[in-house]
């Protein structure tokens, strides 16, 4: 009998990931307002990219997931950002944001946070 406090662990395959991963739940849980992981990642990437040592024509992110906030600080250092992911749901989440769909995840707080890190005090 499985313990409810500690459910039985199951190893899933890539096929399971395609069908079971829910980008909306992931984004709400890890990138929603007030999530500590959300700011830590942005702080680290801001520091890394703002050295100016990492730059170029094109940045390819393999396995972007449904996340665009990892690329905000990179945008001024690369001419082109390419997102990619294995799971159709993640690609759909990225596409919704790119196309300004009404049900796309709201990345405005992430952009405002990074803008403040970069010294833009006029972001409203």
Residue 59 phi/psi, 5-degree rounding, is -115, 120
List the structure tokens of 27.
């984004």
Q: How many Å apart are CA 45 and CA 47, to the nearest integer? A: 5
Query: Mind listing the pLDDT tens digit of every residue in the chain (124 residues)?
Result: 445 565 676 776 777 777 788 999 989 888 887 766 678 889 999 999 999 999 999 999 999 999 999 999 999 999 999 999 988 999 999 999 999 999 999 999 899 889 999 887 665 5
Q: How many Å apart are CA 23 and CA 25, to the nearest integer? A: 6
Strand partners, 61: 83
Measure Cα distances from 7 to 19, 25, 43, 76 in Å.
20, 19, 34, 44
pLDDT of residue 19: 79
Element (H, E) at 67: none
The Cα angle at residue 65 between residues 62 and 68, in degrees rounded to 5: 95
Helix, coil or strand: residue 81: strand
CB atoms near residue 27 (< 10 Å): 22
pLDDT of residue 1: 46
Q: How many Å apart are CA 65 and CA 31, to the nearest integer? A: 12
């Amino acid at each position: 009998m499985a313990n409810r406090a500690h459910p039985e662990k199951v190893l899933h395959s890539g096929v399971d990931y395609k069908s079971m991963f829910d980008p909306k739940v992931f984004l709400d849980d890890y990138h929603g307002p007030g999530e500590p992981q959300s700011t830590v990642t942005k702080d680290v990437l801001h520091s890394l990219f703002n050295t100016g040592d990492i730059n170029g024509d094109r940045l390819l992110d393999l396995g972007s997931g449904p996340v665009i906030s990892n690329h905000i600080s990179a945008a001024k250092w690369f001419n082109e950002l390419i997102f990619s992911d294995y799971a159709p749901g993640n690609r759909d989440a990225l596409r919704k944001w790119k196309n300004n769909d009404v049900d796309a995840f709201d990345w405005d707080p992430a952009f405002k946070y990074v803008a403040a890190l970069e010294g833009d005090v006029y972001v409203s």
